[in-house]
Amino acid sequence: MSISNDTHTGEESESQTFSFQPPAGGDIVLKSCDGTTFNAHSVILGMASTVFGGMFYGATKPDPIELAEDAESISLMLAFIYPVAPPHINTIDHLEKIMKVSQKYDVERMTKFIEEAVTLGSKLMTLDPMRVFYLCVTHNFPAIQALTAESFRPKSGNLLTVDGLLQLAKYFPQAAPVIGLVGAQGARVKILDQVLIRSPQKYGCYQLSALGDDKNHGAALPICPSHVPPTSKSSYGSGSGSGVPGTRTARVPDYCIVWLRQLHDELLEKPMHECNDLFRAACLANFSTQKCIDCVAVTIGKKDIFEQWALNVKQIVRNELEVLDPLYSL
């Protein structure tokens, strides 16, 4: 599988091509797929690689052995095989090439180098963990694969978000449907938590058109007389009021918070269409964690106001969950 350049890091795109030629006196010619030739020493290559040992049997110098790799890949491999200081591998592109040829040609020195170079906290590990993970799976480096998975963090690719999951699916297209299925569940949990528990006001679940305020004169959600907020003297109260002197401060009724949590819990277990009873005011009477029964009684008596608000929240949740649609069709 070929991964498009848009998944690579900027640092890699600036890497320079590596070039290496064996010392003089070679008795075998290797030819890259892009036409570069290398006069290599069959004894040295045969000692480093059992694959080359078999490949050179019966070959003669006038007959170049054509390899499928490009000149840079062969240069990197030869630089590891010959008794010289190994090249400095500091890009994922180069790592990919040496991983591939080390396994294909069974070059033990390269394999050992890779396992020692790609460790927890190493530069190669942190450059692009998702791509390193993909390379380990593709080229069979299970130990590094496990380390990469262990070091994976949201900044490397948040797999609780749709973008992160789609990026992962690009690397593993054959597994894309499974990635979508499993990933959508995790991403859905996170969205419901953000919208209904952590930040309902941010997403508009407490919007003033539902709760009522002095600007749009919307119908405020009902509360009992004992919970009617005091008149504002100068600024915002504990709720989300207008802060205009002489007006009442809007207050989110306790049963709204309880209801949002109940909706959250039910949506974790079943789809929206199976939660229709929650969007009727009568459901409030069934909650065991109510702080004020009088507020609930008043609200049930004015059910149209509550149900209008609840349906608005329903639409907010639906809109936020639409981001998961690409995952369902992977």
Summarised one tens digit per residue, pLDDT across range 219-257 is: 478 888 887 766 544 333 344 444 444 444 556 888 999
10-residue mean pLDDT series, the chain (330 residues): 40 70 93 95 92 73 86 97 93 97 96 94 91 96 95 87 94 96 94 95 74 47 80 42 48 87 96 95 83 88 91 94 95
Q: How many CB atoms lie within 10 A of CB 14?
A: 8
Express each pLDDT in 272-290 by its tens digit.
999 999 999 999 988 767 6
Name, in order, each residue with C-beta under 8 angstroms of 259's C-beta and a sequence gap of 6 or more: 278, 283, 284, 287, 310
- Distances, alpha carbon 82 to alpha carbons 18, 20, 166, 304, in Å: 15, 10, 42, 82
Q: How many helices (H) and strands (E) does the chain have?
A: 16, 3
pLDDT for residue 62: 66
pLDDT for residue 6: 40
Please say whether the beta carbons of 287 and 262 come within 8 A. Answer: yes
State which H helix or E strand residue 39 sits in. strand 37-40
Q: How many CB atoms lie within 10 A of CB 62?
A: 6
Quote the pTM value.
Answer: 0.74
Task: Give the largest CA-CA distance in the chain.
Answer: 100
pLDDT for residue 236: 35
Name, in order, each residue with C-beta under 8 angstroms of 248's C-beta and a sequence gap of 6 or more: 228, 229, 230, 231, 232, 241
pLDDT for residue 63: 77
Q: Of the candidates 130, 142, 134, which has an alpha carbon nearest to the alpha carbon of residue 174? A: 134
Name, in order, each residue with C-beta under 8 angstroms of 52's C-beta and a sequence gap of 6 or more: 42, 45, 46, 105
Q: Which residues of 130-148 are buried (b: 16+ CB within 10 A; e: fewer)?
A: bbbbbbbebbebeebbebb
Hey, where are the domains in the chain?
208-324
pLDDT for residue 232: 43
